[in-house]
Amino acid sequence: MIKDQETGVLQPFNFDNVYEHMPSLRLFDFSIDNYCFDPVIDSSNMQPKYWEEIAGVILKKYESYDGFVVLHGSDTMAYTASALSFMLENLNKPVILTGSQLPLGMVRTDGRENFVTALEIASAMLDQTPVVPEVAIYFENQLMRGNRTIKFNAENFEAFRSPNYPPLATVGIHIKYNYAAIKKPNFRKLRLNTNLCNDIAIIKLFPGITEKVVRAILGINGLRGIVLETYGTGNAPTEPWLLDALSSAIREGIIIINVTQCQGGSVDMEKYQTGLALSKIGVLSGKDITTEAAIAKLMYVLGNYKHLSDIRTMMVTPIAGEMSKED
Neighbours of 231 (CB within 10 A): 17
Q: Are 90 and 170 found together in one domain?
A: yes
Q: Give me the helix-helix angle, 240-251 and 273-280, nearest 10°.
A: 30
Q: Are 162 and 19 found together in one domain?
A: yes
Q: Are 148 and 6 found together in one domain?
A: yes
β-partners of residue 192 are 88
The confidence score (pLDDT) of residue 268 equals 94
Q: Is residue 71, in this structure, part of any structural domain at all?
A: yes
Q: What is the pLDDT of residues 152-197, one digit of tens each?
A: 999 888 889 999 999 999 999 999 999 999 999 888 999 999 999 9
Q: Is residue 250, in this structure, part of any structural domain at all?
A: yes
Q: Are 186 and 210 found together in one domain?
A: no
- At residue 76 the predicted structure's pLDDT band, cuts being 50, 70 and 90, is very high
Q: Is residue 242, in this structure, part of any structural domain at all?
A: yes
Instruction: Name the residue with higher pLDDT: 192 or 104.
Output: 192
Give yes or no for residue 284 having a pLDDT over 70. yes
Q: Is residue 323, in this structure, part of any structural domain at all?
A: no
Instruction: Give residue 103's identity as a one-letter amino acid code.
Output: P
The last residue of a domain, from among 153, 170, 192: 192
Q: Are 165 and 308 found together in one domain?
A: no
Strand, helix or coil for residue 122 = helix
Q: Are 159 and 220 found together in one domain?
A: no
Q: Are strands 88-89 and 129-130 parallel, antiparallel or unpaired?
A: unpaired
The confidence score (pLDDT) of residue 25 equals 86
Q: Is residue 141, in this structure, part of any structural domain at all?
A: yes
Q: Is residue 120, in this structure, part of any structural domain at all?
A: yes
Say how many domains are in the chain: 2
Q: Is residue 322, in this structure, part of any structural domain at all?
A: no
The confidence score (pLDDT) of residue 327 equals 55
User: Domain containing 303 — which CATH number?
Assistant: 3.40.50.40
User: Domain containing 149 — which CATH number?
Assistant: 3.40.50.1170
The confidence score (pLDDT) of residue 7 equals 80
Q: Are 110 and 207 found together in one domain?
A: no
Please give the backbone phi and psi of residue 219, each rounded to the nearest 5 degrees, phi first.
Answer: -90, 5
Q: Are 177 and 205 found together in one domain?
A: no
- The whole domain housing 230 covers 200-315
Q: Is residue 324, in this structure, part of any structural domain at all?
A: no
